[in-house]
Amino acid sequence: MTNVKDLDQVQMACYTLTSAGSAYDITLPFYPDMVWVKNYTQYGTTAKLIDHWWMKGMPAGDSLTVQTVTDNATTANVTGVLETTNGFTWAGVDAAFTDQHRTLSGATVASPVVCTTTAVHGLTDGDRVFITDVVGMTSLNNKAFVVDVLSTTTFGLYDVYGDAIDGTGYSAWSSGGTVTMKYEATATENVADTYVLTLGSGVIGANSDVLYIAAFKAPGSVINLGDIA
């Protein structure tokens, strides 16, 4: 057995949840190479999907699934099922402010200055942000602000005393600008991304089913050996 030291680099995250009977987006701390879901409630029950396996690179909606076919009160017989529609679907990096940066698409010459982002910003009232790289309204650059959320893509700028940032004397916004969330306690501006995998209706089971979930990331990720025929 070689490369035993690589086992120290394997990442694993385990979860349990009670199903609501519909597809569910599970957030993981890494981009997994494998995910394994077991339906604790339905194990041993006839005609139930009880075991689901996914590997990175499988087509969207796929799941390698085990289904019970008979129940003789001692051991359930099983059969393999290839789910191609309602299995697992990779949803990518979490759409919230998890990467800590958003790009501006505008800023108003007003009091308060109202900023618009190109994507959903994920901020909440009172969050602190740092703005850089604005062209035109350069008075915003390299400064920290407190935000008042107006919509999913807009927010007003205030100082730490709650006073509006008066931009009526600023030059007009021309282009660009990066908004970075700040954490006062740790002075950290960047945190690890989180990743989202959709557990489809073929995996999530029925309402009130208890599921156990294990996600794995291998050192070096999944290696594609190609067609060796």
Placement of tokens 């099922």 in the chain: 81
129 located within any domain: yes
228 located within any domain: no
Helix, coil or strand: residue 5: helix
Contact 134, 108 (CB under 8 A): no
Helix, coil or strand: residue 204: helix
6 located within any domain: no
Count of domains observed in the chain: 2
For strands 76-83 and 63-71, give the pairing: antiparallel
How many other CB atoms are found less than 10 A from the CB of residue 110?
A: 15
Co-location of 136 and 148 in the same domain: yes
Co-location of 176 and 101 in the same domain: yes
Predicted confidence (pLDDT) per residue in 187-207, tens digit: 344 455 678 889 999 999 999
109 located within any domain: yes
- The structure tokens listed for 192 are 């690890």
Compare 193 and 153 and report the one with higher pLDDT: 153
Structural domain span for residue 135: 97-182
Q: Is the pTM of this model over 0.75?
A: no
Predicted confidence (pLDDT) per residue in 6-20, tens digit: 555 688 999 999 999
